[in-house]
Amino acid sequence: MSEGGCAATPTAEGLSREAIARIDASRQLEDVLSLPEHLRDALWRVESAIMGEWDTPAGLVVAGMGGSAIGGALARAALGDHSSRPIFVTRAYGLPPWTTPETTVLCASYSGNTEETLACYESAGALGAHRVVATTGGRLAEMARQDGVPVIPLPGGFQPRAAVAYMTVAALEVAALCGAGPRLTSEIDVAAAHTEQLVEEWGPDAGEDTPAKTLARSLHGTIPVIAGAGLTAPIAYRWKTQINENAKQPAFAHELPELDHNEIVGWEGAPQLGRFSAVFLDDSDIHPRVKERIELTERLIEPHAAACLRLSTRGQTTIERVISLVLLGDLVSIYMAVLRGVDPGPVEVLERLKGELGER
């Protein structure tokens, strides 16, 4: 992992396990540190729920919202050029208009009560598409069992965003079972072992100068703008949403090379509006011209940013590399929450929104 560009002044507060525990009353850190175990457990849960394979030439649609949808996006990135059929993620009340009976629809809702996902489940049934469900229960599990649709049972007790490994593995395995990509079971096992090593390197028991803690301090007090490309584009979005939900602050994500055609101009006014930081997520397989763009864009943004950071994935396989930056971003978001003195767990405004929607 490399870091480039300007650095912000770090805060003096420690990020030891004890210091984190005083803020993290809901123990979100423990769920992040359990990512390797979640990867292995997810494989077992898919295998126990689904027997046999089927063929849907139109590909796979993953229907979900928030932390339940990100698994589909990460799975699609991990499969990359190895996917043999379209894999699409829908975050809406409906399925893509091209969905047919020859499409598999994976409806992913941690709670099982996400209204957008329930609508997609019913739409898929009306179309006659092959359905699979990943959930802890709720209305989605109830309908699926009534319809004889396979249910991948997820463990309860998490915030939905902490089930990222379960949702990613579910999407990867369903993609293989329906013919949209190769089976990557062994690669997932290897990625779990690799992630264990990274947990030791970046976790709370490591030194105060580790990449995750250093990053959190560099981003503290700024509005992070995360940029990805190719494999790292959905990871950049994951970083944004984790900082939103865990650190309870604004963060934004964009994708190269597109941001070089618009967003880069906006950085000229950043110092007059606030403290914005830029984070570029790199990968060994990113197109050479995009790599050049990252270096040049960073240099042009640096004079206007409170912090400029460039990070790269770790690992050999695409799954290892995807999960490495997912882990890093999750840890950084927890550490940022602690530096702000806010419990990363509660998402009261989301619960209020759902409650008010339910009254309408």
Whole-model pTM? 0.95
pLDDT per residue as tens, the chain (360 positions): 444 444 433 444 589 999 999 999 999 999 999 999 999 999 999 999 987 899 999 999 999 999 999 999 999 999 999 999 999 999 999 999 999 999 999 999 999 999 999 999 999 999 999 999 999 999 999 999 999 999 999 999 999 999 999 999 999 999 999 999 999 999 999 999 999 999 999 999 999 999 999 999 999 999 999 999 999 999 999 999 999 999 999 999 999 999 999 999 999 999 999 999 999 999 999 999 999 999 999 999 999 999 999 999 999 999 999 999 999 999 999 999 999 999 999 999 988 998 898 888
Gap between the Cα atoms of 307 and 277, Å rounded: 5
Same fold? 32-188, 208-340: yes
Catalytic residues: 245, 261, 354
Please determine, looking at this structure, whether the domain spanning 208-340 carries the CATH number 3.30.2270.10: no
Q: Is the dihedral of CA 278, 257, 195, 238 positive or negative?
A: positive
| Domain boundaries 32-188, CATH class | alpha beta
Per-domain residue ranges for the chain? 32-188, 208-340
Number of other CB atoms surrounding residue 101 within 10 Å: 11
Backbone angles phi, psi at 162, to 5 degrees: -80, -5
Say what the pLDDT of residue 5 is: 43
Q: Is the dihedral of CA 143, 145, 149, 151 positive or negative?
A: positive
Give pLDDT tens digits for 136-167: 999 999 999 999 999 999 999 999 999 999 99
